[in-house]
Structure 1
Amino acid sequence: MSEVSVGMIGIGCLFALMVLRTPVAFAMLIVGYFGYLFLEGSRAASAVMLTETYSAVSNYNLIVVPMFILLGNISSVAGFSRALYDAAFAWVGRFRGGLASASVLGCAVFSAVSGSSVATAVTIGKVALPQMKRLGYGDALATGSIAAGGTLGFLIPPSTGFVLYAILTEESIGRLFMAGILPGMLLMALFMGTIALIATIDPKAGPRGARVGWSDKLTLLGKSAPLLGIIGVSIGGIYAGIFTPVEASAIGAGLVTVLAFVMRAIGWKQFKVAVLETLKTSAMLYMVVIGANVLNPFLAVTHIPETLGNALVGMGLGAYGTLVLIILAYVVLGMFLDGLSMLVVTIPIVFPVILQLGFDPIWFGVVAVIVIEMGMITPPVGLNVFVVKGVAEDVPMLTVFRGVTPFLLAMIVGLVLIIAFPQIALLLPNTMFN
């Protein structure tokens, strides 16, 4: 049996394990270890397991994961996310669909402290959905805006998707963080434009909120200023070159912790809850990285990436034709896999192809993350849809999927723009590092 055949069987077993609900980290560990054992022997397989596990957990850059997760968890427990939402609603709530637009705006800002799509959707959803229901918003628009807005947590820095992409491809986390800012703002604007269009066509779907006076607007903005300041310090410090992403994560987590205690927004009990949640999420992500590090050597010895690259180039589709084919494959996988699973399973295979085609790896990281975001609101899996359904228990699942459809179209428009104009993603990282 050829090495390529063994590799294809291994990939098939990987997907079979995930279909059987095996956690993706352990599915990759099983396939990577036993596949390498079959091809190279027990001594080599054991060496890979030990060295790659140590290499993964000792990676200095991975510190950004628990630090930014802690930053988001404390912000949520302390109620800072509610202050962000209230400020956003005060400024845009008077427009048609303003409450939904405020939800998207709140998601975008909270994404800058959470780095997680699910955490963003849950946090803003718990605050916004009851308010939208009280004001008579349509269920489809209310749930769709939260589910779509939550996907920004995977794109706007600090993004766990970018951290994993950087580790898998050995690209700069700082450059990827900067590359996600303008595309994130573009998607936010497209989402808010979609809400305005829906509310214009059907005013009952998104009625106007109460007018808020300038003094109240400024007061609510002032209440959100401390967290906005922390975001500015951490993300702005990276852009200005004052500190690295790892240092920024620690500074942000430290500042929000001190701020929460000084303002008496949390006690030791709430702090303990935030820390425990951070440990659980971080342990899961570390296991995913370990699994990917064990799987990658197996894929390398099977020559799957090289074979796939030659096959795609041999099809004669050209660089952009091949890119479209890869994106379509991501869309299909997104219907069945969650975002992190797609990222760690596919990047080792498609990344060599992207380099061979001459595409910028930082730009492709943004494209890949956006396509993965689309999978978060695409049936039948649509992780963010299920998360929002958990918050809005009385809304039928079909209604939630119907609500995200216009936002999915907006994401396609955003993706096309970023492919047509790569500088949308590359302007900030090139300005920062050149």
Structure 2
Amino acid sequence: GTLGILIPPSTGFVIYAILTEQSIGRLFLAGVLPGLLLLSAFILTITIMCWVRPAFGPAGPRTTIDEKSRKLLGALPILVVILLTIGGIYAGLFSPTEAAGVGAGLVILYGIVTRTLTVRAFWEASKDSIVTTATVMLILIAAHMINPFLALSHIPTVVGEFLAGLEAGTIGTLMVILFVYLVLGCFLEGFAMLVLTLPIFFPVIVDLGIDPIWFGVLVVLTLEMGLISPPVGINVFIVKSVAPKVELGTIFRGVLPFWLAMIATLAVLIAFPQISLILPNTMFN
């Protein structure tokens, strides 16, 4: 649940790009390596937990090489679609919007060829796409309504002067902003936070000379950390609804190692910005 918004295609990156007038393609590429890094951190966390407590991950049924090969081949078409869409953006063959059309078209074609796509499934997928698009548009409309208020109230200027008065330096100010996102993430939905806070914090980031693409990756990761942080980690309550017999405290204790893994990943991304920037910079060079 915390990887979906970081690994492209990501609605969080789309909203961030529109609100800050950044390149969606650059943000998508910037999320690839951090997403893989976070995935590796989760795998390492699970490995350590199962090494300490083998009961956490009991052995599953044995499978043959042939069975494994068939399953991997079954996943190959979707992997090809991902590589073509992301690779097409990276190679400059098409824009992110065109890549979305190419990806959707290939998946529809695959469903038709394999006879797994029914008319009902296509209709439901179309409705979901319309709902998602309308939701994003409503969020952006709200953002444009808030911006004039912020400009007239001079809130961004006041916040910028306050952060400058801390004299914490570039990295120190960045960490203060990320801490604010982490705290807000415990109570607010991620997209709402972007709409409310980016008009305030983004001018400060620009004045500090921080790369907006790098900052976007850090913000998205921090938002996801908030979704599993107490007292109101939204993802934790979703898990609770799926497993109602499990105590809420047990779920929060269960996510703690992964929260620490996300903290470690965030620290690495702050220390080494090129992990986020190498792919987008290569694409535009």
Normalising by structure 2, report the TM-score.
Answer: 0.97
Q: Which residue number in structure 2 is paired with residue 318 of structure 1?
A: 169
Q: Which residue number in structure 2 is paired with residue 165 of structure 1?
A: 16
CA distance, structure 2, for counterparts of residue 265 and residue 381 of structure 1 = 39
Give the deviation of 1:380 after TM superposition. Answer: 2.3
> Do structure 1's residue 420 and structure 2's residue 271 form an aligned pair?
yes
> Do structure 1's residue 246 and structure 2's residue 97 form an aligned pair?
yes
| Equivalent residue in structure 1 for 2:43, among 192, 206, 223 | 192
Matches within 5 A, 1:223-262: 223-262=74-113
Task: Find the residue that maps to 1:264 and give its secondary structure.
Answer: coil
CA distance, structure 2, for counterparts of residue 228 and residue 263 of structure 1 = 16
Does structure 2 conserve the Cα–Cα contact (< 8 Å) formed by 1:338 and 1:375? no
Give the deviation of 1:378 after TM superposition. Answer: 1.1
Does structure 2 conserve the Cα–Cα contact (< 8 Å) formed by 1:374 and 1:408? yes
Give the deviation of 1:223 after TM superposition. Answer: 0.7
CA distance, structure 2, for counterparts of residue 426 and residue 411 of structure 1 = 19
Give the deviation of 1:390 after TM superposition. Answer: 2.5
Give the deviation of 1:423 after TM superposition. Answer: 0.5
Q: Which residue number in structure 2 is paired with residue 287 of structure 1?
A: 138
Of stretches 178-187 and 314-323 in structure 1, the one that deviates more from structure 2 is: 314-323
Give the deviation of 1:212 after TM superposition. Answer: 2.4
CA distance, structure 2, for counterparts of residue 254 and residue 297 of structure 1 = 39
Which residue identity does 2:54 align to in structure 1? P
Does structure 1 conserve the Cα–Cα contact (< 8 Å) formed by 2:108 and 2:117? no
Which runs of 5 or more residues in structure 2 are unaligned?
Answer: none
CA distance, structure 1, for counterparts of residue 94 and residue 62 of structure 2 = 41
1:346-366 Cα distance to aligned partner (Å, 9 max, x none): 111100011111111100000
Q: Which residue number in structure 1 is paired with residue 284 of structure 2?
A: 433
> Do structure 1's residue 303 and structure 2's residue 140 form an aligned pair?
no
Q: Which residue number in structure 2 is paired with residue 202 of structure 1?
A: 53
Q: Which residue number in structure 2 is paired with residue 274 of structure 1?
A: 125
1:61-86 Cα distance to aligned partner (Å, 9 max, x none): xxxxxxxxxxxxxxxxxxxxxxxxxx
CA distance, structure 2, for counterparts of residue 302 and residue 355 of structure 1 = 20
Q: Which residue number in structure 2 is paired with residue 78 of structure 1?
A: none
| Equivalent residue in structure 1 for 2:196, among 334, 340, 345 | 345
CA distance, structure 1, for counterparts of residue 48 and residue 150 of structure 2 = 47
Q: Which residue number in structure 2 is paired with residue 87 of structure 1?
A: none
Q: Percent identity?
A: 54
Does structure 1 conserve the Cα–Cα contact (< 8 Å) formed by 2:6 and 2:35? yes
Does structure 2 conserve the Cα–Cα contact (< 8 Å) formed by 1:376 and 1:385? yes
Does structure 2 conserve the Cα–Cα contact (< 8 Å) formed by 1:338 and 1:381? no
Matches within 5 A, 1:105-120: none
C-alpha RMSD of matched pairs (Å): 1.2
Give the deviation of 1:224 after TM superposition. Answer: 0.8
Task: Find the residue that maps to 1:211 and give its secondary structure.
Answer: coil
* Structure with larger RCO (C-alpha < 8 A, sep 6+): 2
CA distance, structure 2, for counterparts of residue 208 and residue 346 of structure 1 = 46
Q: Which residue number in structure 2 is paired with residue 152 of structure 1?
A: 3
1:225-276 Cα distance to aligned partner (Å, 9 max, x none): 1111111111111111111101000111111122112212131112212222
Of stretches 380-389 and 164-173 in structure 1, the one that deviates more from structure 2 is: 380-389
Q: Which residue number in structure 1 is paired with residue 234 of structure 2?
A: 383
Q: Which residue number in structure 2 is paired with residue 176 of structure 1?
A: 27
Task: Find the residue that maps to 2:4 and give its secondary structure.
Answer: helix
CA distance, structure 1, for counterparts of residue 28 and residue 132 of structure 2 = 20
CA distance, structure 2, for counterparts of residue 168 and residue 210 of structure 1 = 48
Of stretches 408-417 and 325-334 in structure 1, the one that deviates more from structure 2 is: 325-334
> Do structure 1's residue 373 and structure 2's residue 224 form an aligned pair?
yes
Which residue identity does 1:308 align to in structure 2? V
Q: Which residue number in structure 1 is paired with residue 206 of structure 2?
A: 355
Task: Find the residue that maps to 1:336 and give its secondary structure.
Answer: coil
CA distance, structure 2, for counterparts of residue 350 and residue 385 of structure 1 = 28
Bigger CA radius of gyration: 1
Q: Which residue number in structure 2 is paired with residue 407 of structure 1?
A: 258
Following TM superposition, the consecutive aligned residue runs of length 4 or more in structure 1 with deviations greater than 3 angstroms are none
1:6-27 Cα distance to aligned partner (Å, 9 max, x none): xxxxxxxxxxxxxxxxxxxxxx
Does structure 1 conserve the Cα–Cα contact (< 8 Å) formed by 2:89 and 2:95? yes
CA distance, structure 2, for counterparts of residue 170 and residue 279 of structure 1 = 23
Change (3 A) 1:394 1:278: farther
Which residue identity does 1:153 align to in structure 2? G
